[in-house]
Structure 1
Amino acid sequence: MTNTLLKAFKTIEETADDVLELISKFVDVNTFFLAKNDKKEVNIVRAYNRDDVVLPTGFETLYRDSF
């Protein structure tokens, strides 16, 4: 029997969109995000900004400058 309740994701971006949408329903904050971090650079894969854009999707910075 196939479980049709599970959703298959093709990309990390697609997954992030669904996860951030779900979290936004339960967490009352302005900004949260999913990032890739290789200890050299940080890349914001997807960002959720409720009211004010604090951190945009696609933002990149050096790891040493992120805090």
Structure 2
Amino acid sequence: MQLKQTPSYTTIDEASKDVLELMSKFVDVNTFFVAKNDKQDVDIIQSFNRNEIVLESGFETLYRDSY
């Protein structure tokens, strides 16, 4: 029996791409994202868009303008 090594990440930025890719295999929606939100700004760390680009990685907006 061969054991798989669990990936090791040092930041959320590193882990988010793998997490979104895994989620996309189980949930059939176009867009997922991981964001930082401090109630003033929203920063999209990583996004996954299946067919149509709705939200890009690196997008930033004011918290009051997000929904």
TM-score, normalised via structure 2 length: 0.89
- Which string of whole-angstrom CA distances, capped at 9 and with x for unpartnered residues, describes residues 9-58 of structure 1? 02211100110010010010000100000000000000000011000000
Question: For residue 54 of structure 1, what is the aligned residue in structure 2?
Answer: 54
TM-score, normalised via structure 1 length: 0.89
**Does structure 1 residue 29 correspond to structure 2 residue 18?**
no
In structure 2, the gaps of 5 or more residues are none
In structure 1, the gaps of 5 or more residues are none
Larger displacement relative to structure 2 (28-37 or 3-12): 3-12
Q: Percent identity?
A: 58
What letter matches 2:48 in structure 1?
Y
Equivalences, count: 65
Question: For residue 20 of structure 1, what is the aligned residue in structure 2?
Answer: 20
Cα RMSD for the two superposed structures: 1.4
Runs of 4+ in 1 over 3 A off after TM superposition: none
